[in-house]
Amino acid sequence: MPTPITAQQLITLQHELPIIDVRSPGEFELGHIPGAHNMPLFNNLERTQVGTRYKNSGRDFAIELGLEYVGPKMAGFVKFAKKLAINKKLILHCWRGGMRSASLAWLLETAGYEVFLLQGGYKEYRRFNRESFSKATQLLVLGGYTGSGKTEILIELQKMGEQVIDLEGIAHHKGSAFGSIGQEQQPTNEQFENNLAHEWQKLDMNRRIWIEDESVTMGSNGVPDTLFAVMRTAKVLRIDIPREVRAKRLVKEYACFEPSLLETSILRIQSKLGGIVTKQALEALHLGDFEQVALITLIYYDKAYLNGLSKRDPKTIESLFIDEDNPAKAAILLKDYLLEGMGFSSRVPLR
């Protein structure tokens, strides 16, 4: 008999044993446990046909059709497992811990393998992850206007031993209308949540965790509602950098890309900027005045950020004025604040 394991046990065992996902390729591509290997019991078409047979003719007839598909593949399944198993042990799962994983567990155990079977399957793994996001009692949100270099500050904090979750890095998107420029293709939203959970599971929940202040969506990816709820009530350490300094950073980040990409992004927020302002931004872009483009668009983004900040409890927000673009120094000051337990004054220049 296969050994049943919980999602929590899988997270521990995944560092020691391979995970085999027996769902169809389409299910796997939509979202899977990071590091898992796909050994589909049915291909996409076969899965559809078995499901249709089950719906129209019942369980027994569906099983018969499934056996017709699976029979010729059995030797291949065993060979696949042989390549991956460690000491003839492996983890197996399907969607809900049902017939697909149970049947392959039987086959592999018959072939001499020790199988750990995820109870509740991939669905339970997803449920467990969403619940785990709500358990961050020491979450710290790094806030600040667009162009403040928050991601770089988080990187510096991580170098100093702090725990950090880089939402934008995991989503391959910087959050704004310009956020996809220069980024890899975004994962599906389901895979984004899985990748986020994979990083989350590495953290010590008894220590503070830094995360960037984000809206609920970053391109096509959305922050899980359980995590977003914690973010909205967590303490915010907000850095306030002059717009002119931030504009120069944005020029460094985006002026190297094709102007057509920037134009598309400007037009994406045309309704927010207004016709006249959009025209001014596009004229500046065509003249190669990237700093002016940044200054114009930041007017909108600054208002949007302040609007989001106004929805938080003011008592949870600490603000720090910084007069230069220096992520390393900003990270030191932020950590010093936490060590000393002192609040920020409203205008403390960083030098």
Single-letter amino acid code for the residue at 177? A
Residue 48 contacts by C-beta under 8 Å, 6 or more apart in sequence? none
- Extract the tokens encoding 27: 């299910």
Q: Please, what's the b/e burial string for 300-336 (b: 16 or more CB within 10 A of its CB; e: otherwise)?
A: bbeebbeeebeebeeeeebbbbbeebbbeebbebbbe
Pairing of strands 217-218, 221-222: antiparallel
Q: For residues 110 and 169, give the distance between their C-alpha atoms in angstroms, rounded to a whole number.
A: 43
Q: For residues 226 and 167, give the distance between their C-alpha atoms in angstroms, rounded to a whole number.
A: 14
Is there a contact between 335 and 157 (Cβ–Cβ < 8 Å)?
Answer: yes
Name the DSSP class of 226. H
Task: Find the angle CA(271)-CA(150)-CA(267) to the nearest 5 degrees.
Answer: 20
Q: Is 6 exposed, middle or buried (0-12, 13-18, 19+ CB in 10 A)?
A: middle
The answer to whether 94 is a known catalytic residue is: yes
Catalytic residue (choose from 85, 94, 104, 165): 94
Is there a contact between 306 and 243 (Cβ–Cβ < 8 Å)?
Answer: no
CA distances (Å), origin 254, targets 109, 174, 232: 55, 12, 29
Residue 50 contacts by C-beta under 8 Å, 6 or more apart in sequence? 42, 62, 65, 66, 69
Is there a contact between 97 and 120 (Cβ–Cβ < 8 Å)?
Answer: yes
Q: For residues 141 and 152, give the distance between their C-alpha atoms in angstroms, rounded to a whole number.
A: 14
Residues noted as catalytic: 94
